[in-house]
Structure 1
Amino acid sequence: MPTAAAPIISSVQKLVLYETRARYFLVGSNNAETKYRVLKIDRTEPKDLVIIDDRHVYTQQEVRELLGRLDLGNRTKMGQKGSSGLFRAVSAFGVVGFVRFLEGYYIVLITKRRKMADIGGHAIYKVEDTNMIYIPNDSVRVTHPDEARYLRIFQNVDLSSNFYFSYSYDLSHSLQYNLTVLRMPLEMLKSEMTQNRQESFDIFEDEGLITQGGSGVFGICSEPYMKYVWNGELLDIIKSTVHRDWLLYIIHGFCGQSKLLIYGRPVYVTLIARRSSKFAGTRFLKRGANCEGDVANEVETEQILCDASVMSFTAGSYSSYVQVRGSVPLYWSQDISTMMPKPPITLDQADPFAHVAALHFDQMFQRFGSPIIILNLVKEREKRKHERILSEELVAAVTYLNQFLPPEHTIVYIPWDMAKYTKSKLCNVLDRLNVIAESVVKKTGFFVNRPDSYCSILRPDEKWNELGGCVIPTGRLQTGILRTNCVDCLDRTNTAQFMVGKCALAYQLYSLGLIDKPNLQFDTDAVRLFEELYEDHGDTLSLQYGGSQLVHRVKTYRKIAPWTQHSKDIMQTLSRYYSNAFSDADRQDSINLFLGVFHPTEGKPHLWELPTDFYLHHKNTMRLLPTRRSYTYWWTPEVIKHLPLPYDEVICAVNLKKLIVKKFHKYEEEIDIHNEFFRPYELSSFDDTFCLAMTSSARHTLGAVSLPEARSLIHQKSWNCCVFGIYCGIWSGFSSNGEVAFA
C-alpha cells in the first residue's frame, strides 16, 4: 500500500504553436521533453472556438512523425493558391487563456518567464512577456469597427507586471493548505475499513488503486481557489474539454524571496501576496464591498520560511504565516467627480443587519478558521467626520454579528488610530504595534510541518507556551487570521502587517531551532531582509491599486527616514493623485474586461458607453427577487461546526471532491521534483542552474565577485571542488545586482 504523497507536476511546460491555413496545432511537453500532448484548434470558424484534445500522451518520436505527416499533407496542395505547409508560429511556456470580443477568439500565450522563488524545489515564475494571436484565418474573418478598441483596452492589463504561476505548486492556496491536502488521501486510507469504498475513493483516477501494492506514490492535484486566480474566466471555455495539464492558473500580486544564512545554514524567506480577482479595481473607483461579500483591494499575504538545505515537502522543515488586508466591508464609496485630494466618504446603502459584512466574514471563517481579528487603523478623532464614518459603522456591524456567534469564536475588533499616534512626539508607533502583533500571533499561531524542536524544551520560553493555533502530531496549524485595514489599505496597513510579520518571523525561526528566543531586534540581518521584502511588497501593491509607490514607509514611522525621503514622499503623493484623476477610469475598464466582469455583446452598450460599472459588480441589483440569508444565523452551518479549524482544510467529502489523485511509480517524472529541479540526466547550463538571483544576508559581509569572474574561477579550479564548495555553503548565491558571493 503506498504511503507517500506528492504534488503532481504539470506535463505541459514547453509549448510550440504550429500553423496551417485551416488549423493551429499546440504541442506541449514536459520539462524533460519526453512526454507530449497536442491540441488541435480550428481556424475556419469565424466566431466559435473549436478545440480538440485527443488526451493521448505522445513520445518525442511520435510527435515528430505527427508533425511530419501534417507538414507533408499540407505541402501536397502547394499548387493551390494560398496554401502552405506547417509553420512554427511561436514558442511559449503556458496558455493564459482564450478571449473573444466582437469578432473571433484570441489565444494568449506566455512567451517569456523569469524564476522568482523556489519552495521545496517547486519553481515560481513571473510572466515576463505574452503574445496574443488571432485564431480565425483571414478568409473567414468578419471585421467589426470596435474590435480594435476592445483589444487595446484588454491589453492595457500588463501581464508582464506582477503575474505569477507555477507548474507544480498551487499559488492560489497557502502552504498550510497545500501540505494539508497532501495528507488527506493518507488519512482517508486509514479509515478505509470504516467507510463505504465508493464514497471514500471516488476521487481516484485509477480504478485499481486501492488493491494495487508496491512502491507507489500518490500524485495529488487540488482545485485552485478561484478568488485569487486572475485568468479563470479566460480558461473557463476550455476547462471541460482539455486535460488539466493545459490549465495554467496565474495569480496577481507580489512574490519575493531572500536567503538568510544562520551560521552557514541557508534559510529561504519567501513573501507571496495574492490579490483578489473579485471586486478588483483602482483606488477610488473600488471601495467597500460588493453584494457577495467580496471587498476591494483584498490581498492575502503569506510569509514562508524553509530550511533550504533539504529540498522536500516530506523531509524538509517549512513554516508559514498568513494575514489579510482589505477595504472596510460596508457599502461605501468616495465621489471623485470633483478634483479633491480626499473626496468625501459616503455610505451608499443602509445595511442595518450587516448583510454584506456577514457574507465577508463567513468567507473568512471558511478559509482561515477562527479567531478573526480586525485591526482597524482609520482615524477616530477628527474635526470633520471623514474616516470616522467607517469606524462607527464597522463597530456597529461587528457588534451585531458577534451577538449570534458562539462566545469562543466571536470576531475580535482592535481599533487603533495610527495617524494620531504618529503625530505624537511622546508615543512610539512601532512599539505599540509590536504589542498588538504579539497578542495577535499568540491567538492565531502559525503553521509548521514539524513537531516542536527539542531546543524549545532545553531553552523554554514563557511566550511559547502561550501560543495559540492548533498543535497536531505532525506540527502546528494556524487557526484564524488577522485582517488589517486603513482607508486605502496601503501605507499604514503595510507597516502594521510588517510588524505582525516580524513578530511571526521570530516565532518561525524559533520553531525551526534557529534562534534561542522568539524575539528579533530591528538591527539584524533577518529583519533587514524582511523589511526590504515588505517594502517591495507594499510598493508593488500600491502601484497596482493607487498608481504610485508607498508614501509612508517603515522608516517613516521609525522616524529615521532621511530628509531626502520627504521630497520623494511628496512626489509619490502627486503621482498617486495624478493617477487617480486621469488614468484610473481606463485601468478600471481594462480590469473589468480582463476578468470577464463585462462581456462585449453585439447590439448592447459598449464598455466605454456605460455611465457606471456598479451593476456589473453588484449583480443582485438586477434580480427581481434577491435571495436573503438569515439575519441571525448568518454563517454557513458546516463552517461553524469545525471551528477553530478552517473548513477548507477539514477532511470531508466536499473537500475530497476537489482533489485529483493518481497513482504513480516513485520515479515517475510527474512527481519526481528532484529530477525536475536538478536535471541530472543532461548537461545543464550554468545560467539555467543558478537562474534565481536573490538578496542574501551574506551580501555585505562576504566578498563578492561578478558573474564573469565567478565563471573564470570555476574554470581555474576543478569542477569537483566547486560543487563541494556549493554544497558546503561556501557558495553564497547571487546578490541582487547579479554578483556571486563566496566566503
Structure 2
Amino acid sequence: MSLQPFRDVNVHASTSHYAFTSPSTPNAPTLVIDRPSGDIRLNDGSLLGAKRVSSIAGILGIIKLKLDKYVIVITKAQPMGRLQGHMVYRVVATEFLPLRERSLHDPNEDKLLTLLKQFVRNGPMYFSYSIDITNTFQRQAESDLSRPLWQRADDRFFWNRFIQTDLIDFRTGSGRGGQQPGADPYILPVMFGMLRIAATKIGSAPFTFALLTRRSRYRGGTRYFSRGMDEQGHVSNYNETEQVVILNDHTGGPGGFMGGSGMQSGKSGGLAGNELQIMSYVQTRGSVPVYWAEVNTLKYIPKLQIRGVDTAVEAARRHFDEQITLYGENYLVNLVNQKGREERVKKAYEQMVRTLISSPSETSESDRFSNEKTTSISTREQHQRMDRLHYIYFDFHNETKGLKWHRAQLLLDQLSEGLMKGSYFRGLEMPGDSTGALEVRSQQTAVVRTNCMDCLDRTNVVQSMLGRWILTRQLIDAGILQPGQSCSDDPVFEDLFRNMWADNADVVSNSYSGTGALKTDFTRTGNRTRAGMVQDFRNSATRYVKNNFLDGPRQDAFDLFLGAYLPPTSVVGSSVYADSRPVLIQSIPYVLAASLFIIILSLFTRRAPDSAVWPIRLFIGLCFAIAAWSLQFIIAHGMLYVNWPKLRTPPFAVEGYQEALTRAHKDMIVGPLITAASSREKKTRHSSITRMGYMEEGKKRIE
C-alpha cells in the first residue's frame, strides 16, 4: 500500500458520483464520492457509467457551504525545485466540483464560493508527493517514515487540514466503519507560505540554498482583524521560517507529477561516496502573546485595545509551552517602539514575561540616542519550564533612524551567546538508504522568536540578518568558508540571499496586510534608499485602503477555508452581505463624491461671458459645505464605513459599530431622518423575511 500521495490522478464524473483513480497504480482502489450526499467509499474495480473529465495533481479538499459540498481539485501545479531529491510544487490552478448536478442559487452561497475561489487562487500554497514540507528537516529526521505522508504532517502547517476532514474521517473510520488505508494516497497535505529553492555556489563550492516559510493555520487572518492571541494560545500571523543549505546535492532536473512507478518515491539518484548533507536553521515570528487588538475607525492610526495581562497568562503559558516543546530555549526579540502608542504593547509583553518566569532578572542599556537601547529579562537559574524564555527588547526605531539600518547588527551582541548555544541542525543521508532517512550530527536546541507590531517589516529585516550570521557559521563549519570570511563576501550569492529574503518579506506581508513588505530595499540592496521610502509610502497608502475597505471579505475567506466559520444549512433570510446600515448612512459617501465632482467640474469648466456669477458661486459654496459636512460625518462615524468581516465579526467591531450608530442617530442634521427611515426598514424587513420563510417551505416540498 502506497504511503505517499498519488502523482497522477484521473477524475471520472457521472450524475451519481465522482471517481478518482491513479493510472500509474492500476491495482489501487478507486476513491468514490457519491453525489449529492458526499458519502465516500473505496471501490476495487472500475466504475461503469462515468466519463473521464481530466487529469489532476491531487485533491485539495472538500468543503461544505450552505446548499452544497464542493470537491476542490488541483488542476495545475508548477515544479519549484528539489529538496533532498524530492520535487516540490506550487498550486497554480484549482477547480471546484459541485456535488449537486443542478446547483441551487443563493446569494450567500454564490458570494462565499466567489470568496473561496479568489482566496485559493491568490494563496501561495505548496506541496510535495514524497517529502513532508510542513515539517523542518530536524523534525523530519525524528518522524516515523513508515507512516503515510499526511499523518507525519505538522498540524500547525497542514493548511488544508480542515477541508481534508471528510477524507481523513473516512480513512480513520471515525464513527462509521473501520480503517481505510487505501485512502491514504488521496490525502495530500498542503503548506501555505513562501518557498524558494536555488542552485548556487560560493567560490568553487556548489550547494542548494532554500528558504521556506510556513504560515500557521491557527488564528489565520488579516492585519487588523487578527491580532494578539486566543484562549488556546495561538497567536496571529505565526510563521516558521527555515533556511536550508544542501551540500553534495546531485539531484536530477525537474519532473512533473506524471512520473511513472519508478519515480513514485520522488527520489533522484545521487553519486556514491559523497553523502548528501543538510544544514538548516529555524526562526519563528508571531503576534505579541497578550489579548490586544487594533480597531479600525478610518483614521490612519487605529485605536489600540489591550486587555489586562492577568487575563491572558494561562493562554500565554499554553503558547510558550508549545514553543519550548518544539524548539527548546526561546529568545523573544521584541522590536516595537518604546514610545508612543506601541509602548503599551511593549509593556504588556514584558509584564507577561515577568509573570511567567521565576525570579526575573532585568538589565537595560542606554546611550545618548536612547534611554533604553536594549532590555533583557531572563532568570539566572532555571527552576521551571517557563524559565527557558529569554526576553530581549531592541529599540529598532531609534537605532536605525536616519537610514542607519546597519545598526540593527547591534542586536547580534545580545543574541550571539544564545545563537552559539542553540546551534543548528545538521544531518547526513547515508548512501544506500532508500528511505532518505537522515543521520543526525547536530540539532538546533533554541529558537529566536521575533516580533514587531505586525511581525512583517522590521521582523523580516532582523530575521534576514540572523539568517546571514548563522549561514556564515554553517559554511565555515563545512569548510566552504575560512574563519573570518562571510557569505556576504561573494557578491553573486549575496544578491541571491538578499532577494530571497526580500521575497519572503513580500509573501508574508501580502497574505497578512494585502501589500508587499516595507523596508525591502534594505533587504535587497543593503541600503535604505529614497526610492525605497517612496515605495514604502505607496504600500502604506495601499494598506490603509485595503485594511479599512477590502479586508473584511478576505478575513471571511480565511475563516471559511480554515473552518473557523461553518455555514448554516438554512437558506432562510437575506444575504449576509446585504448592507444593513440605514440607507441615509449608506448614501453619505456618494453625496461627498457628487459634491466634489461638481466642485471640480465648475472649477475647470469655462463660464459663458454673459452668465451671472453669484448664483454659480452660491451653488459652489453650497457644494463645499455639503462636502465638508459629509467628510466630517464619515470621519466622526468611521466605524460605520469600515468593511468588517460578516461571518465572524469581532466583538470590538460590533460594539464600536453600535456606538457609532447611536451617535449618528443623535446627529442634529440627519439623526431624525435616520431614525424615521430605520423604523420603516424594520417593518419592511420583517414582512420580507416572513414571505421568504413561506417560499423556503414550498421549495423544500418541491425538492
Same fold (TM over 0.5): yes
Aligned to 1:319: 279
Aligned to 1:330: 290
Deviation track 1:596-654 (CA, whole Å, cap 9, x = no partner) reads 11011134987658987897899xxxxxxxxxxxxxxxxxxxxxxxxxxxxxxxxxxxx
Aligned to 1:18: 12
Which one of 487, 503, 512 corresponds to residue 545 of structure 1?
A: 512
Aligned to 1:149: 111
Residues in 1 aligned to 2:553 and 2:104: alpha-carbon distance in whole angstroms: 27
> Does the 8 A contact of 2:405 with 2:522 survive in 1?
no
Task: Kindly state the Cα deviation for residue 346 of structure 1 after the two structures are TM-superposed.
Answer: 1.4
Residues in 2 aligned to 1:391 and 1:345: alpha-carbon distance in whole angstroms: 13
Residues 519-668 of structure 1 aligned to structure 2 (within 5 Å): 519-520=485-486, 522-524=488-490, 525-553=492-520, 555=522, 560-603=527-570, 608=577
- Alpha carbons of 1:522 and 1:516: their partners in 2 closer, same or farther (altered >3 Å)? closer
Which one of 388, 395, 402 corresponds to residue 410 of structure 1?
A: 388
> Does the 8 A contact of 2:134 with 2:157 survive in 1?
yes
> Does the 8 A contact of 1:379 with 1:418 survive in 2?
yes
Which one of 124, 145, 162 corresponds to residue 233 of structure 1?
A: 162
> Does the 8 A contact of 2:61 with 2:73 survive in 1?
yes
> Does the 8 A contact of 1:600 with 1:607 survive in 2?
no
Aligned to 2:376: none
Residues 261-276 of structure 1 aligned to structure 2 (within 5 Å): 261-276=201-216
Residues in 1 aligned to 2:322 and 2:218: alpha-carbon distance in whole angstroms: 13
Residues in 1 aligned to 2:205 and 2:215: alpha-carbon distance in whole angstroms: 33
> Does the 8 A contact of 2:5 with 2:187 survive in 1?
no
- Alpha carbons of 1:440 and 1:159: their partners in 2 closer, same or farther (altered >3 Å)? farther
Task: Kindly state the Cα deviation for residue 264 of structure 1 after the two structures are TM-superposed.
Answer: 4.1
- Alpha carbons of 1:450 and 1:386: their partners in 2 closer, same or farther (altered >3 Å)? same
- Alpha carbons of 1:341 and 1:26: their partners in 2 closer, same or farther (altered >3 Å)? same
- Choose 1 or 2 for highest CA Rg: 2
Q: Which has the higher contact order (CA 8 A, sep 6+)?
A: 1
Task: Kindly state the Cα deviation for residue 407 of structure 1 after the two structures are TM-superposed.
Answer: 6.4
> Does the 8 A contact of 1:156 with 1:587 survive in 2?
no
Residues 252-263 of structure 1 aligned to structure 2 (within 5 Å): 252-263=192-203
Aligned to 1:433: 411
1:397 maps to amino acid: M
Task: Kindly state the Cα deviation for residue 277 of structure 1 after the two structures are TM-superposed.
Answer: 0.8
Which one of 22, 32, 35 corresponds to residue 28 of structure 1?
A: 22
Task: Kindly state the Cα deviation for residue 567 of structure 1 after the two structures are TM-superposed.
Answer: 2.1
1:236 maps to amino acid: T
Residues in 1 aligned to 2:59 and 2:300: alpha-carbon distance in whole angstroms: 41
Aligned to 2:245: 305
For 1:538, what is the secondary structure of its paired residue? helix
> Does the 8 A contact of 1:129 with 1:160 survive in 2?
no
> Does the 8 A contact of 1:304 with 1:321 survive in 2?
yes
Task: Kindly state the Cα deviation for residue 289 of structure 1 after the two structures are TM-superposed.
Answer: 0.5
For 2:166, what is the secondary structure of its paired residue? coil
Task: Kindly state the Cα deviation for residue 480 of structure 1 after the two structures are TM-superposed.
Answer: 2.0
2:82 maps to amino acid: D
Residues in 2 aligned to 1:37 and 1:519: alpha-carbon distance in whole angstroms: 57
- Alpha carbons of 1:521 and 1:497: their partners in 2 closer, same or farther (altered >3 Å)? same
For 1:420, what is the secondary structure of its paired residue? helix
Query: Which sections of structure 1, spanning at least 5 residues, go unmatched?
Result: 1-6, 57-62, 75-85, 186-203, 206-218, 452-471, 619-743
Task: Kindly state the Cα deviation for residue 308 of structure 1 after the two structures are TM-superposed.
Answer: 4.2
Deviation track 1:10-36 (CA, whole Å, cap 9, x = no partner) reads 251111111222222211245xx5654
> Does the 8 A contact of 2:399 with 2:408 survive in 1?
no
Residues 172-211 of structure 1 aligned to structure 2 (within 5 Å): 172-181=134-143
> Does the 8 A contact of 2:457 with 2:518 survive in 1?
yes
Residues in 2 aligned to 1:554 and 1:432: alpha-carbon distance in whole angstroms: 20
- What is the root-mean-square deviation in Å for CA atoms of aligned residues? 3.1
TM-score after normalising by structure 2: 0.69
Task: Kindly state the Cα deviation for residue 270 of structure 1 after the two structures are TM-superposed.
Answer: 0.6
Task: Kindly state the Cα deviation for residue 410 of structure 1 after the two structures are TM-superposed.
Answer: 2.7
Residues in 1 aligned to 2:395 and 2:27: alpha-carbon distance in whole angstroms: 58
| 1:100 and 2:67 are equivalent in the alignment | no
Residues in 1 aligned to 2:647 and 2:112: alpha-carbon distance in whole angstroms: 20
- Alpha carbons of 1:544 and 1:425: their partners in 2 closer, same or farther (altered >3 Å)? closer
- Alpha carbons of 1:349 and 1:407: their partners in 2 closer, same or farther (altered >3 Å)? closer
- Alpha carbons of 1:28 and 1:481: their partners in 2 closer, same or farther (altered >3 Å)? same
Residues in 1 aligned to 2:311 and 2:515: alpha-carbon distance in whole angstroms: 36
Task: Kindly state the Cα deviation for residue 318 of structure 1 after the two structures are TM-superposed.
Answer: 0.5
Which one of 76, 93, 101 corresponds to residue 112 of structure 1?
A: 76
- Alpha carbons of 1:146 and 1:491: their partners in 2 closer, same or farther (altered >3 Å)? closer
2:393 maps to amino acid: P
Which one of 356, 374, 385 corresponds to residue 332 of structure 2?
A: 374
Residues in 2 aligned to 1:558 and 1:265: alpha-carbon distance in whole angstroms: 24
Residues in 1 aligned to 2:356 and 2:423: alpha-carbon distance in whole angstroms: 24
Residues 443-592 of structure 1 aligned to structure 2 (within 5 Å): 443-450=421-428, 474-517=440-483, 519-520=485-486, 522-524=488-490, 525-553=492-520, 555=522, 560-592=527-559
- Alpha carbons of 1:612 and 1:87: their partners in 2 closer, same or farther (altered >3 Å)? closer
Deviation track 1:427-465 (CA, whole Å, cap 9, x = no partner) reads 8423313434533421311000159xxxxxxxxxxxxxx
Aligned to 1:211: none
1:594 maps to amino acid: F
Task: Kindly state the Cα deviation for residue 583 of structure 1 after the two structures are TM-superposed.
Answer: 0.8
Structure with more helix by fraction: 2
Residues in 1 aligned to 2:423 and 2:186: alpha-carbon distance in whole angstroms: 37
1:306 maps to amino acid: I
For 1:587, what is the secondary structure of its paired residue? helix
- Alpha carbons of 1:426 and 1:287: their partners in 2 closer, same or farther (altered >3 Å)? closer
Aligned to 2:301: 342
1:120 maps to amino acid: Q
Task: Kindly state the Cα deviation for residue 229 of structure 1 after the two structures are TM-superposed.
Answer: 1.6
> Does the 8 A contact of 2:400 with 2:408 survive in 1?
no
For 1:240, what is the secondary structure of its paired residue? helix
> Does the 8 A contact of 1:117 with 1:270 survive in 2?
no
Task: Kindly state the Cα deviation for residue 564 of structure 1 after the two structures are TM-superposed.
Answer: 2.5
For 2:123, what is the secondary structure of its paired residue? coil
1:224 maps to amino acid: A
Residues in 1 aligned to 2:529 and 2:400: alpha-carbon distance in whole angstroms: 17
| 1:389 and 2:389 are equivalent in the alignment | no
- Alpha carbons of 1:130 and 1:538: their partners in 2 closer, same or farther (altered >3 Å)? same
Deviation track 1:301-335 (CA, whole Å, cap 9, x = no partner) reads 00111014345899310011000001000000011
Residues in 1 aligned to 2:275 and 2:520: alpha-carbon distance in whole angstroms: 38
Deviation track 1:373-394 (CA, whole Å, cap 9, x = no partner) reads 10000111x2xx4111011111
Query: Which sections of structure 2, spanning at least 5 residues, go unmatched?
Result: 172-182, 252-266, 360-381, 430-437, 581-643, 652-703
Residues in 2 aligned to 1:49 and 1:616: alpha-carbon distance in whole angstroms: 30
TM-score after normalising by structure 1: 0.65
